[in-house]
Structure 1
Amino acid sequence: MAKIDDKALVSLLHDGFSEGFDSLYWKYHQLIYMNVYKFVKNREESQDILQDVFATLWESRQSIRQEQSVSGWLFVISFNKSVNHVKRKIRHSAAEDKVVSFYHAHRDESDDVHDEHYQILHAAIRELSPQKQKVFTLCKLEGKSYEEAAQLLNISRHTVKEYLSLAMYAVRDAFKSPAQNNITRISFSN
């Protein structure tokens, strides 16, 4: 019986009716969320992935076949998005650790103006927008949590997270820049 219901809902979804989408969301969102949460172990990140799964459902509605198990499709998509999220988080965390440890190791070397890595790091930070500089400084250099930085800057935790992610990519890219030809590079890849 549930398969017939899902087929009808997929048919509505395929035809672009939001009722099909809404019904599938309410039918499966808790199960998908629990599945994602078991893997990601973070409430907000799990909610973000859940929203992304259902956004993908809506965007892919034309390619989903009625005879296909929509629940199976949702679980596969949620699993893949969870795995990709965890991999990205691990890579990002490793890059952050390298940048922060490098910064702390070299920040007291004020007499050594020839330390090119230190200069690249500072140049990369200066290239960030003022708000991203503040987020980077608070979270990575001063060790503040996302919540603390959000309160201090009067922005949302999600915005802090987004700014920090963008700042870390910019800093990492500064070390990969081909313009820095004769400089030993810091490797940010696994």
Structure 2
Amino acid sequence: MKDNSLYTDEQLFALIATGDEAAFERLFYRYLPKLQLVIRKIVKQEAVVNDIIHDIFLNIWLKREELPEISSPASWIYRVMYNRSLTWVERQQLHKRKQQQLQAVTTTNDAEEAVFFAETSRLVREAIRKMPPQTQRIYLLSRESGLRIPEIAGNLGLSPNTVKNTLVRAGKLIRDHLRDHGIVLPLLLFTFY
């Protein structure tokens, strides 16, 4: 094969069907600039253009035995190019929609969780305010000051068992208060060590 323009697309298809790699290369270079231009306009992403072209020519090579049956090679190549390009665009749009939906769900979930957390925190503070003073003091020393049962007992002059029982009672008071307002949390969240 001498000059790229000496062969028609039909002749190149016939030669490619026999496994002629030089004919395949000529066809590739004949269509490369045209395909790049059109694909670039469709997908609008330079990085994808060569991937689609690679896919088109891989398809041609893998289906080379069928090439002689194609009456209009140029139309066939452009149809494959449009199909591949539009499929890529549709997949990107679908991916983008799914990302937006996921982001919307995540944003909604985050907002719902923030509202739930704020309401739960408000109800916990409300429950603490309703506790008897000694129970409230022990609870706050445990939760806000981070003191352990023996330290609280030493600071208040109480037995560790009294502090432990008071903390368990405080946890139940909070849990009951939350439950009365429609929030059910496991007692484990209010267990103190």
Q: 1:83 aligns with which of 81, 86, 93?
A: 86
Residue 105 of structure 1: aligned partner = 108
Contact (CA 8 Å) 1:49, 1:81: kept in 2 or not?
yes
Distance in 1, matches of 2:116 and 2:17, equals: 64
Name the aligned partner's letter for residue 40 of structure 1. Answer: V
State whether structure 2 residue 56 is matched by structure 1 residue 53: yes
What's the RMSD between the two structures over aligned residues?
Answer: 2.5
Name the aligned partner's letter for residue 46 of structure 1. Answer: V
State whether structure 2 residue 22 is matched by structure 1 residue 13: no
Displacement over 4 Å in runs of 4+: 1-4, 110-113
Distance in 1, matches of 2:80 and 2:103, equals: 34
- After superposition, the C-alpha distances for 1:125-165 in whole angstroms (9 at most, x for unaligned) are xxxxxxxxxxxxxxxxxxxxxxxxxxxxxxxxxxxxxxxxx
Residue 168 of structure 1: aligned partner = none
Distance in 2, matches of 1:104 and 1:47, equals: 36
Name the aligned partner's letter for residue 105 of structure 2. Answer: F
Contact (CA 8 Å) 1:11, 1:66: kept in 2 or not?
no
How far has the Cα of 1:6 moved from its partner? 2.2
% identity of equivalent residues: 21
1:64-143 to structure 2, matched below 5 A, reads 64-65=67-68, 68-107=71-110, 109=113
Distance in 2, matches of 1:23 and 1:69, equals: 17
Distance in 2, matches of 1:40 and 1:111, equals: 42
Q: 1:29 aligns with which of 5, 28, 32?
A: 32
Instruction: Point out the more displaced range, 100-109 or 80-89.
Output: 100-109
Q: Tell me the secondary structure at the aligned position of residue 16 of structure 1.
A: coil
Name the aligned partner's letter for residue 63 of structure 1. Answer: E
Q: Which has the higher helix share?
A: 2
TM-score, normalised with respect to structure 2: 0.52
Q: 1:62 aligns with which of 60, 65, 78?
A: 65
Residue 38 of structure 1: aligned partner = 41
Q: For residues 3 and 95 of structure 1, do their structure 2 counterparts lie closer, same or farther at Cα, with a shift above 3 Å needed?
A: farther
Structure whose alpha-carbon radius of gyration is higher? 2
TM-score, normalised with respect to structure 1: 0.53
Residue 183 of structure 1: aligned partner = none
How far has the Cα of 1:107 moved from its partner? 3.0
Q: Tell me the secondary structure at the aligned position of residue 19 of structure 2.
A: coil
